[in-house]
């Protein structure tokens, strides 16, 4: 259908391995520049080859350090690896300090590695829209493993399930009893648990507790999380960690349609998110611009109409011109 | 997707080239730029010029801040500028801070470092200058 259309110049540059072009496209995605739309459209058919691995967990457990040893391990095995490290933006100033690069050692001349830090920027729908599109750009650029590191608390954690096909939750000994991990909702995320800082006392007990918890629960979608011990400081456990990740990836491919079904679920959420964002933006613009809608706001304040009915009216109104346009 | 606006935060790389362990200044500046609403990619200590330039490219920053208190600034800062040029990064301004004698500061400005901040510079001045020289999204 669209195969005959020539690739946009930026897409061609990305496919050539131009790292600056890739970096600039990620910036465009991040600031919601509509210019990136045709590039994403053109590149979509060239994505889907990368394994997207989420790495999450509470603050201070060593996510970046685990990522660092995993990155080195994957490079040794010949993978081309991209990293997306997401950190929160300050809700007050909008600024952020993105410090994950400090922990990552790499040869700056190695074109098989690309690292990008990303601030959450308080986007509606969290980090997922920009992160997902960034992952696709990296995928199209030929990175076959993409590690997405997200900050360790709250909603963002769960969103990583909407981006990655395998998720690693990093924990440490003495983080609290096993009830804490039940509370935190980490079991909903983890395909693999990494008990990091396992050079510290208590690591064995932590691994045992977690393994017990895992065996108590019902498998989620047929998979029971694997628990491994790592020490980023002593660089141990990384081979076991990758083996566990690969085992989950193999599980996704073991039955026809399993991986596709998982991706289908993620794509559905993504599309709902995109439609939501667009409706929200257009509605805000209308409320700010249209006199009819301004009057509607006054009517709600004056108790002549309730907010739900006002929303219904705006929604119905909103659909009309679009329908007319389609019929033409 | 939201329209690109002036609200898009400035992305700035803060790095310390060379073998110099004094990172308090860099951290204070990073914090001030963050509080001014910027996204600070903090690369930290003991960065080679090559690492700094690669980070600047991958992160697509609008500004680079280098800090050096070891006295090696006349070797390290020009090297960063040279590598940026070699990689065809021409639109990303570089500023510097640290213990830098006035004569060196003048020479650094002449070769393209946009601003040089010595001890005692106010954070307000650093933030104002950073905002003023940072690249704007094209």
**Coil/strand/helix, residue A158:** helix
User: What are φ and ψ of residue A94, in 5° steps?
Assistant: 80, -5
- Measure the CA dihedral A115/A119/A124/A129, to 10°: 0
Q: Considering only CB atoms, which chain B residues are within 8 Å of A31? A: 2, 4, 8, 137
CB pairs under 8 A between A and B: 96
* Residue B95 CB partners (closer than 8 Å, separation 6+): B63, B64, B65, B66, B113, B114, B115, B116, B117, B129, B130, B133
Say if residues A192 and A248 touch (Cβ distance below 8 Å).
yes
* Residue A220 CB partners (closer than 8 Å, separation 6+): A187, A188
**Coil/strand/helix, residue B72:** coil
Residue window 43-72, chain B: list those with CB within 8 Å of chain A.
43-45, 48, 50-51, 53-55, 57-60
Q: Which two tokens stand for residue A200?
A: 């510290």
Residue of A305, A309, A315 whose CA lies nearest to A280: A315
CB contact under 8 A, A129 and B1: yes
Instruction: Provide the ipTM.
Output: 0.91
Determine the Cα angle at B29 with ends B24 and B34, to 5°: 125
Q: Considering only CB atoms, which chain B residues are within 8 Å of A271? A: none
Q: Which fold has domain A47-254?
A: Rossmann fold (3.40.50)
Write down the H helix ranges in chain A.
9-16, 19-30, 37-43, 63-76, 128-140, 155-159, 178-183, 203-216, 238-254, 258-289, 291-301, 307-327
Burial (CB < 10 A; 0-12, 13-18, 19+), residue A105, is: exposed
What are the CA-CA distances from residue A146 to residues A82, B28, B32, B114 (Å)? 5, 32, 32, 36
CATH code for B11-133? 3.40.50.280
B43: left (phi over 0), alpha (psi -120 to 50) or beta: alpha
CA distance A191 to A225: 5
CA distance A250 to B23: 45
Contacts of A264-271 with C-beta under 8 Å, sequence gap 24+, read A266/A161, A266/A162, A266/A163, A269/A162, A270/A128, A270/A129, A270/A132, A270/A162
CA distance A277 to A160: 19
CA distance A295 to A287: 9
Best residue in A97, A143, A282 to probe B by mutation, most B CBs within 10 Å?
Answer: A97
Each residue's pLDDT, cut to its tens digit, for chain A (328 residues) gives 445 578 999 999 999 999 999 999 999 999 888 899 999 999 999 999 999 999 988 888 899 999 999 999 999 999 999 999 988 788 778 888 888 888 898 999 999 999 999 988 766 444 577 899 999 999 999 999 999 998 765 544 567 888 899 999 998 888 766 556 565 667 778 999 999 999 999 888 888 888 888 888 788 889 999 999 999 999 999 999 999 999 999 999 999 999 999 999 999 988 988 888 888 888 888 888 888 888 999 999 999 999 999 999 988 887 775 544 444 4
Residue window 69-108, chain B: list those with CB within 8 Å of chain A.
87-89
The residues spanned by each domain of chain A are: 1-46, 47-254, 266-327
Q: What is the DSSP letter of B89?
A: -
Distance to chain A for B96, nearest Cα, Å: 18
* Residue A7 CB partners (closer than 8 Å, separation 6+): A15, A42
What is the per-residue pLDDT for A60? 85
Encode pLDDT of B105-119 as tens digits.
999 999 999 999 999
């Amino acid at each position: 259908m669209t195969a005959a259309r020539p690739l946009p110049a930026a897409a061609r540059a990305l496919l050539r391995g131009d790292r600056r072009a890739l970096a600039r496209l990620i910036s465009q995605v991040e600031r919601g520049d509509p210019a990136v739309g045709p590039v994403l459209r053109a590149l979509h058919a060239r994505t889907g080859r990368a394994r997207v691995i989420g790495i999450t967990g509470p603050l201070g457990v060593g996510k970046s350090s685990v990522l660092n040893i995993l990155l080195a391990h994957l490079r040794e095995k010949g993978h081309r690896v991209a990293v997306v490290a997401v950190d929160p933006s300050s809700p007050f100033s909008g600024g952020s300090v993105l410090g994950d690069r400090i922990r990552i050692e790499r040869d700056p001349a190695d074109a098989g590695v690309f690292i990008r830090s990303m601030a959450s920027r308080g986007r509606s729908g969290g980090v997922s829209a920009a992160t997902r599109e960034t992952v696709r750009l990296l995928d199209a650029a030929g990175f076959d493993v993409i590690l997405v590191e997200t900050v360790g608390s709250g909603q963002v954690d769960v969103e990583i399930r909407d981006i990655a096909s395998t998720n690693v939750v990093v924990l440490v000994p003495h983080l609290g009893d096993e009830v804490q991990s039940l509370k935190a909702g980490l079991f909903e995320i983890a395909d693999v648990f990494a008990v990091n800082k396992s050079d510290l006392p208590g690591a064995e007990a932590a691994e045992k507790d977690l393994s017990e918890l895992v065996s108590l629960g019902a498998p989620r979608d047929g998979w029971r999380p694997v628990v491994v011990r790592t020490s980023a400081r002593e660089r141990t456990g990384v081979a076991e960690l990758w083996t566990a990740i690969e085992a989950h990836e193999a599980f996704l491919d073991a039955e026809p349609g399993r991986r596709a079904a998982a991706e289908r679920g993620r794509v559905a959420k993504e599309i709902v998110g995109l439609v939501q964002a667009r409706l929200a933006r257009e509605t805000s613009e209308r409320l700010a611009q249209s006199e009819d809608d301004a009057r509607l706001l006054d009517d709600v304040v004056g108790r002549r109409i309730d907010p739900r009915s006002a929303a219904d009216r705006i929604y119905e109104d909103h659909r009309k011109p679009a329908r007319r346009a389609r019929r033409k | 997707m939201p329209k690109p606006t002036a609200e898009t935060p400035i992305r700035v790389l803060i790095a310390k080239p060379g073998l110099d362990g004094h990172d308090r200044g860099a951290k204070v500046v990073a914090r001030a730029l963050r509080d001014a609403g910027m996204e600070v990619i903090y690369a930290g200590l003991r960065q080679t010029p090559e690492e700094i330039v690669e980070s600047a490219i991958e992160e697509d920053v609008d500004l680079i801040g280098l800090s050096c208190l070891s006295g090696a600034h006349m070797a390290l800062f020009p090297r960063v500028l040279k590598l940026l040029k070699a990689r065809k990064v021409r639109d990303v301004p570089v500023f510097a801070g640290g213990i830098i004698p006035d004569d060196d500061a003048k020479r650094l400005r002449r070769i393209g470092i946009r601003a040089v901040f010595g001890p005692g510079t106010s954070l307000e001045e650093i933030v104002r200058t950073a905002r003023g020289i940072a690249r704007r999204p094209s």
